[in-house]
Amino acid sequence: MIYLDNAATTRPDEEALEIAERYYKENYFNPSALYAGGLEVKKKIAEVKSKILSVFPTGYDMIFTSCGSESDNMAISSFAKRGNIVTTEGEHSAIYECFNELKKRGVETRFAKLNPDGSVNVDSLLSLVDEKTSIVSVVRVNNETGAINNVNEIAGRVKKINPATVFHSDGVQAFGKLPTAISDKVDLYSISSHKIGGLKGTGGLVFKKSVRLVPLIFGGGQENGLRSGTENVFGIIDFGAAAEKRLERVSENYSKIAEFKQIFLDNLDKRFIKIISGENVSPYILSLSAVGLRGEVILHMLEEFGIVVGTGSACSSRMRHSRVLKACGYNAGVLDGAIRISFGVDNTKEEVIFAAEKLGECVNKLKGVMDRR
């Protein structure tokens, strides 16, 4: 199998699994327990936090969650208590639908426009921020087009308008992938384990110690009272091991993936394909469209060759057309033919070349069939 849907999830890292294995076979203790085994597990969780926080500015803390979506919801819900809240039309559904739900509850929500590549139109965003804006949320890497938003600069400009506004960024497609760090202008940052070789079921919310989060889950007071419930020890240890490996090699992997993307484009027959991803994008994600054709048909044609790709966000796969690409201004022909290629560190040059060639062949074949009708 040639797996090119790494933005949906990644293959679990074998080394990380081996490191975490003893925490479900031997050290399976509850980290809230007061005996030696429990205290050891609690200490290990703290070590994982320290490793992750080492790539953030000083003055930050984090809590572990079940996924990036929970992190996003907790961040937004903590500050959507007054005034208005601002985000973009290109956010992951975890943010977008959270805003829609809060709107139903009487919160004033505002959505900034997108550029054609999926990045936020910064002027549109800033025009929505005022003295009553409680929180602004801007995704760092668009999960469908790969567009990179300069959240460090945007956060700074937001705070010039209103210093009291809290700034959140969904960093799920960026953490462990982009070599540039976030600045201390970003107050809250969501991350996820299974996007970087960890397991599904573990995420994190990194936050400035000066902000006051409001729990979504109440109970035993774990995670310093911010997220009750026994910690997913195995998932957390695995997350830490996977994150450490990716962070150590972040620049090396970035260059490798950028090369893969260029090789793919060089070997792709683009006669009937529109490249949607722009210039300032994460190399991990390539969005394109077989204009006038159906992306899901091409997806299944590629499956016959053992090639796995996506047609957009896996979390919104039930929708015929991508909400994000629609917000970018594309017509129905482009939306119908949308395909997302997302590269991973486990891919090889040979796989990338083969996939590009077969994609071109499938598009040309389907185009020929449609033209004969």
DSSP, collapsed to helix, strand or coil, labels residue 45 as: helix
**What CATH number is given to the structural domain containing 229?**
3.40.640.10
Residues 102 and 201 in one domain: yes
Characterize the bridge pairing of strands 285-289 and 274-275.
Answer: antiparallel
**What CATH number is given to the structural domain containing 325?**
3.90.1150.10
Nearest to 68 by CA among 99, 92, 103, 101: 92
Residues 216 and 306 in one domain: no
Block residue for tokens 């930050």: 60
Report DSSP state, residue 290. -
Residues 201 and 341 in one domain: no
Residues 87 and 161 in one domain: yes
d(CA 349, CA 270) in angstroms, rounded, equals 19
Please report the pLDDT score of residue 210 as a whole number. 96
Nearest to 346 by CA among 264, 287, 268, 284: 284
Residues 230 and 263 in one domain: no
Cβ contacts of residue 314 below 8 Å, gap of 6+? 5, 7, 8, 9
Please report, as a single letter, which amino acid is at residue 252. E
Tell me which of 214, 248, 282 is where a domain ends.
248
Which residue blocks in the chain are alpha helix, DSSP H?
Answer: 14-25, 36-53, 68-79, 93-104, 122-128, 151-161, 233-248, 250-266, 295-303, 323-327, 332-336, 349-372
User: Across-strand partners of 136?
Assistant: 86, 167
Residues 232 and 259 in one domain: no
Q: Give me the active site residues, please.
A: 315
> Tens of pLDDT along the chain (373 residues)?
999 999 999 999 999 999 999 998 999 999 999 999 999 999 999 999 999 999 999 999 999 999 999 999 999 999 998 899 999 999 999 999 999 999 999 999 999 999 999 999 999 999 999 999 999 999 999 999 999 999 999 999 999 999 999 999 999 999 999 999 999 999 999 999 999 999 999 999 999 999 999 999 999 999 999 999 999 999 999 999 999 999 999 999 999 999 999 999 999 999 999 999 999 999 999 999 999 999 999 999 999 999 999 996 455 556 678 999 999 999 999 999 999 999 999 999 999 999 999 999 999 999 876 666 6
Tell me which of 205, 225, 248 is where a domain ends.
248
Residues 200 and 279 in one domain: no
Nearest to 191 by CA among 202, 178, 199, 182: 202
Sign of CA dihedral 160, 164, 165, 168: positive
Residues 87 and 185 in one domain: yes
Count of domains forming the chain: 2
Residues 314 and 298 in one domain: yes
d(CA 106, CA 86) in angstroms, rounded, equals 14
Residues 260 and 244 in one domain: no
Please report the pLDDT score of residue 81 as a whole number. 81
Residues 172 and 277 in one domain: no
Tell me which of 248, 278, 296 is where a domain ends.
248
pTM: 0.95
Residues 244 and 256 in one domain: no
d(CA 312, CA 244) in angstroms, rounded, equals 28
d(CA 322, CA 328) in angstroms, rounded, equals 10
Range of the domain at 325: 2-9+250-372
Please report the pLDDT score of residue 313 as a whole number. 47
